Structures are given as C-alpha cells and as structure tokens.
Amino acid sequence: MTHDVTKTKSAGLFILLTILIALTSGCSKDTPEVETVDLTQVPDLFEQPLQPNPLALATEDVVITVAGEDITHGDVMQATQMRMMQLSRQVPPQQLSQLYPRVYKEMSEMLVANILLTQAAEKSSLVVSDETLAEEVANIEANIPEGKTLQDMLAENEINMEEWKTNLKKQLLIGKLVEEKTAAIEDATVVEAAEFYEENIASFKVPESVSASHILMSFTPEDTDETKAKKKSDLAELREEILAGGSFEELAAEHSACPSSQQGGSLGTFGRGQMVPEFEEAAFGMPVGDISELVETQFGYHLIKVTDRQAEGVQSLTEVKDQLQVYLTSQKKQEALIAYIEELKEKADVVLHRPDFDAAAGE
C-alpha cells in the first residue's frame, strides 16, 4: 500500500510543477531573460542525483501535515529536483547549487498550496469533462520532444498512465479554481506599463549580441595529431564548398558534431561572456553574413556564420509595452492567488512536524 501511495504522489509531482508554475509565470520581480545557448557545455549537474545530508531528515519523514494529508521530506526533495532541473537551463551552473535551499522551501510551500487548492477545488461545483482532459493530454503529447512518447516519459518516472491522468484531471480542476478566483482581476493598463518601464529602465538595457551558427568538428580523447589534422582539413573543405555556394545550414546538419546541427547549426542569440573566448572573439569580430576562418577551441574546430548583430542599447517602451502588460497582469493575478491561498491556510490545520524544518532546506 505504501508503494501505491508513493507512486500516486510521484504522478502528482510529475505534473504539479508544470501546472502551478504556469499559473504563477511572469510573477517574478525581475523581468524574464531570454534563454541562450552556452557553448562551454558544462556537464549535466543531474547526472548524479542531489544527495540529502545523511544526518538529517530521512526520505519518509513527514515534514508537514496539511488538512490531514502528509508531505514527506522525499516529496519535497522530488519536487525540488524537478524544479532544479528546469532552472539548470536558465541559471549558470556555478550559481545553481546556491539556489537549492531556497528552492526546497519554495517547493514545500507549493506542495502545501497544491493540497489546499485541490481540496478547495474538489469541494466546489467546478468540473473537468472527459473531453477537456482528452484535449489536454493531446496537447501534452503534441509537445513531447521528437523520438519520445508520453508513455516513454511516464515509464521513465515509473508512473502509471491512468494514475497520471487522474492527477492531471485534479490539476486541471485547480486551474479552473484559480481562473475563477482571479477572473475579476483587471488587465494592466498602458499607463501602468509605462510607470513600471520608467521605474525599471535598467532592466531594459540590451547588451551587444550576435546570432550565429557553426559547424563543429569535435575533439575526442582518442584524437591524435593526425586525426585532428584530418578534421581540420575536412572542415576547410566544407568552408570552400560553402564559399562556392553550398548551404551552410545543410552542411551543418550533415557534418556538425554539435546538437545545434538539428537546427542547421544555429546557436541562437548570445552576448559576450557566454561562449569560450576563442569562439566569442571570432563571432563578435565578424561582419553579418560572413563565414569565418577555422576557429580552434577546447571542443574542436569551428566554422562560424554570423546571421545578425544587435548593438548595445535600451529597448523602447513601444517594443516592450505588450509584454509588460501581460507581465503586470500576471503579477496582479499572482497576488490575488497568494491572498486566496493564505485564506485557505488560515482555515486549515497546517502542522510543521520538525523544529529543524528550515535546516532541512539547507541540506
């Protein structure tokens, strides 16, 4: 029976972050930053799972009871791990570990909120039809990375499909409840957007950046001077082919050893300090449309094509007005949602079981 309960919680956690983070997206005090590709390719911090302090809480220890439902240290750890993996795509690796204590506390609060919102939604007259559930499942399936299926992803997490659907239906019900509780919130006005813009003008500074693609002949530990020379020669031949009219994108897709080959070699847009020095110097020193000479870095030999360049400057209010209105409206709804959750907390019996709960967040 314990095993079944654990799997049920796993299924809920699998979709909890997606639903609740979506409901509260855009609500940070800082304006969101555009994701970029970091060519330094730091090893995945999650190849080995985060380990708790062995002298502190055990996985099965109950840390909070919310209206009769227990949240264990393991539940919080699992949610924290999922959130940290999401953040790993946005936060530099050297800063990521410093966020762990804060994320642990945020996830414990999110799990409490999820229980309170679930119970409130189930007591309401709101319903999620089978048709709505089927549509949502179809939407999720349509956004799964190529080469994988929903069944594959659930199997990797040892989650039963029907169990997952049951939990998804609960989260959709929570979504309906949140929509109902925030429906009266008025959209942010142009005036409010302008005031925010003026008060936070520094946030809208745009650093110098370039958009570039590359073809990589990568080094391996087994490479000898001879094999490296062969790779250099092969890339030089590709350069001549491109200069003669060949498609950079097609050749990148066929020959590049970088995952960006799937996008025709595109690395997206990046600023200074995000690429290794040799690559950065070449990319920022090239005219748009040119093909570089061969560039050697610790990763191998690169052929670079700069497709766009953005000078340093400040985004105008016209450029960001619509985004700011969405952002500020989301903030208003977030504040209303937090107030509603606080009301639910005041009415519910929420018990912290360990006096060292804060210490658990820092393990």
Q: What is the pLDDT of residues 288-326, one digit of tens each?
A: 999 999 999 999 999 999 999 989 999 999 999 999 999
Q: Based on the domain organization, do 154 and 246 belong to the same domain?
A: no
Tell me if 199 is assigned to some domain.
Answer: no
Q: Based on the domain organization, do 140 and 274 belong to the same domain?
A: no
Q: Based on the domain organization, do 352 and 226 belong to the same domain?
A: no
Least-confidence region, from 135-139, 152-156, 224-228: 152-156
Q: Based on the domain organization, do 231 and 326 belong to the same domain?
A: no
Q: What is the CATH number of the domain that holds 216?
A: 3.10.50.40
Q: Based on the domain organization, do 235 and 294 belong to the same domain?
A: yes
**How far, in Å, CA of 217 to CA of 304, rounded?**
12
Q: Based on the domain organization, do 12 and 103 belong to the same domain?
A: yes
Tell me if 52 is assigned to some domain.
Answer: yes
Q: What is the CATH number of the domain that holds 337?
A: 1.10.4030.10
Please report, rounded to a whole number, the percentage of residues in the chain having pLDDT higher than 90: 58
pLDDT band at 46 (very low <50, low <70, confident <90, very high): very low
pLDDT band at 156 (very low <50, low <70, confident <90, very high): confident
Q: Among 304, 300, 303, which residue's Cα sits nearest to residue 228? A: 300
Q: Based on the domain organization, do 165 and 254 belong to the same domain?
A: no
Summarize pLDDT for 274-291 with one digit per residue, the tens.
Answer: 999 999 999 999 999 999
Check pLDDT > 60 for residue 40. Answer: no
Per-residue buried b or exposed e for 123-146, using 16+ beta carbons within 10 Å of the residue's own CB: eeebebeeeeeeebbeeeeeeeee
Q: Based on the domain organization, do 293 and 324 belong to the same domain?
A: no
Q: What is the mean pLDDT of residues 212-239?
A: 94
Domain that holds residue 216: 208-311
Q: Based on the domain organization, do 154 and 299 belong to the same domain?
A: no
Q: Which amino acid, one-letter code, is at 15?
A: I
Query: What is the per-residue pLDDT for 39?
Result: 33
175 token code pair? 């979504």
Q: Based on the domain organization, do 93 and 154 belong to the same domain?
A: yes
pLDDT band at 41 (very low <50, low <70, confident <90, very high): very low
Tell me if 250 is assigned to some domain.
Answer: yes
Q: Based on the domain organization, do 42 and 186 belong to the same domain?
A: yes
Instruction: Provide the number of structural domains found in the chain.
Output: 2
Tell me if 65 is assigned to some domain.
Answer: yes
Q: Based on the domain organization, do 177 and 264 belong to the same domain?
A: no
Q: What is the mean pLDDT of residues 106-127?
A: 92
* Average pLDDT over all residues of the chain: 83
184 token code pair? 């009266």
